[in-house]
Amino acid sequence: MKRNTKIAIALPLLLLAAALAFVWPKHDIGPAPSSAARNMPLEEKVARGAYLAKTADCMACHTTRGGAAFAGGRALQTPFGNVISPNITADKETGIGNWSADEFWNALHNGKARDGRLLYPAFPYTNYTAMTRDDSDAMYAYFQTIAPVKQASQPHTLRFPYNQQAMLAVWRALYFKPAVYAPDTSRSAEWNRGAYLVQGPGHCIACHSERNALGASDKGLSGGLIPVLGWYAPSLTSDREAGLGGWEVKEITDLLTTGISQRATVFGPMAEVVRESLQHLSEEDARAMAVYLKSLPDESGKREPYERSKEPEAAAWLAAGEKIYRKQCMDCHGEKGEGVAPHYPPLAGNRALTMDEAVNPIRLVLNGGFAPGTAGNPRPYGMPPFSHALGDAEVAQVVSYLRSAWGNNAPPVTSVVVNRYRNVPLD
């Protein structure tokens, strides 16, 4: 092979290697464990780690339905393919029994596996990076006590090029930088604790945020559609959606820890979060999260009132919806949508009905609405599904009516939109 030809082949490869070296994530050591954490009795550290594992909702992703706790194997669906959660029990061959505390910290903080592989952000290290080294070490101590389960972790089934580490390195160069939460000294200790829990272990942004074409979050809590699950996580910074500025702190803590409050009831994916994670918060931590969430500025902006069509067809569509409501819904939710809080949520003035995205009320009518069973609400009331009783047009009519009645004012929905969600799995 001629010398010039060799150079022509080698040069692009060298440039590619240099580019990868430039974007490949650097290792961030982060802060060292505090002396208090190093000297903490093991039993106390394990208990602390167990609490944090619930706060971070690790069970939800690392346990299959009916499977061994934390043994992995759950397929986390993404627009790019499936990410299969790994085994994080203390098994030394197939779990993390041979991991060190440093390696566990590296996964949470830097998003890197023990062997140096870059982890996919379906594992929310983009949020867990905010956690302190002390909390990471406590979680590590807890997971080392989990009964070993010999179950090999399965490979992900991502499409090309998303299954390439080089592609992930570029993504991380654009959207991720490891950093432990830095307290805001102008705020109270309680507010900072709430911010830490929301931004770090609670990883609320994972759902309550829009994502771009490459799956990166916009870093806010402005709400977002969860396409694979077919639910909309409302904005926590918009008073037109789930903005909590006008709520009492107790109303927020009630919703977080029991799933119900005088204002609203959780449903869909959030019901699982409350059942498996948030209900286990201490009273102090639940209040801290509520204080922080209540303080978020209203970013809803100004929106012109919806001008409803005066056409006879539009009026007939809503009249048909009212007829369905009176037959199927009024016994629980009242003639004027007043409901019986907290068990039968009021529909009048209910922002879950009037958001731009109507997917949630559509899913509730189709599939039913079920608050989580929690210590504070052990026998939750539920709404039955109507998918078997109502066609697409009828569901669209009753949802359109709910979005127009008792002072609610949002656009109607169509049967085409309803049909889109009729066969979406519940989870």
Summarised one tens digit per residue, pLDDT across range 59-84 is 999 999 999 999 999 999 899 999 99
| Residues 196-207: b if buried by 16+ CB within 10 A, e if exposed | bbbbbbbbbbbb
- Domain assignment present for residue 325? The answer is yes
Residue 70 region by backbone torsions, left for phi larger than 0, else alpha for psi between -120 and 50, else beta = left
* Residue 20 domain-assigned (yes or no): no
As beta bridge partners, residue 210 has none
- CATH code of the domain containing 220: 1.10.760
Whether 51 is covered by a domain: the verdict is: yes
| pLDDT given for residue 288 in this prediction | 98
Residue 15, Cβ density class (10 Å: 0-12 exposed, 13-18 middle, ≥19 buried): exposed
Same domain, yes or no, for 375 and 316? yes
Question: Which residues in the chain land under pLDDT 70?
Answer: 1-25, 219, 425-427
Write the pLDDT tens digit of every residue in 130-164.
999 999 999 999 999 999 999 999 999 999 999 99
196 with 167, same domain: the answer is no
Q: Which domain holds residue 257?
A: 189-295
**Predicted pLDDT of residue 14:** 44
CA angle 273, 130, 139 (to 5 degrees): 65
**Does residue 2 lie in a domain region?**
no
Question: Is 1 domain-assigned?
Answer: no
CATH number of residue 316's parent domain: 1.10.760.10
Shared domain check, 159 and 71: yes
In a domain, 246, yes or no: yes
> Do 30 and 178 touch, CB atoms closer than 8 A?
yes
Residue % of the chain over a pLDDT of 90: 74
Max CA-CA distance within the chain? 87
C-alpha span between 76 and 154 (Å, rounded): 12
Residue 57 lies in a domain: yes
Single pTM value for the model: 0.90
At 263 the pLDDT is 84
Contact by Cβ (8 Å): 218, 209: yes
Residues 208 and 279 in one domain: yes
Give the pLDDT score at 229.
80
Condensed to tens digits (0 to 9), the pLDDT of residues 261-274 reads 988 899 989 999 99
- Same domain (yes/no): 193, 275: yes
Say what the pLDDT of residue 206 is: 92
The pLDDT tens digits for 91-128 are 999 999 999 999 999 999 999 999 999 999 999 999 99
Return the pLDDT at 372.
93
Q: Are 216 and 120 in contact (CB under 8 A)?
A: no
94 domain residue, yes or no: yes
Residues 170 and 33 in one domain: yes
Number of domains in the chain: 3
pLDDT at residue 262 in the model: 85
Supply the pLDDT for residue 25: 62
How much is the pLDDT for 343? 85
For residues 143 and 94, membership in a common domain is answered with yes
Instruction: Tell whether 169 and 218 lie within a shared domain.
Output: no
CA within 13 Å, CB half, 84:
13
Check residue 280 and report its DSSP letter: G
What integer pLDDT is reported at residue 427 of this predicted model? 58
Asked whether residue 360 falls in the same domain as residue 403, the answer is: yes
Phi, psi of 206 (to 5 degrees): -60, -30
Shared domain check, 280 and 382: no
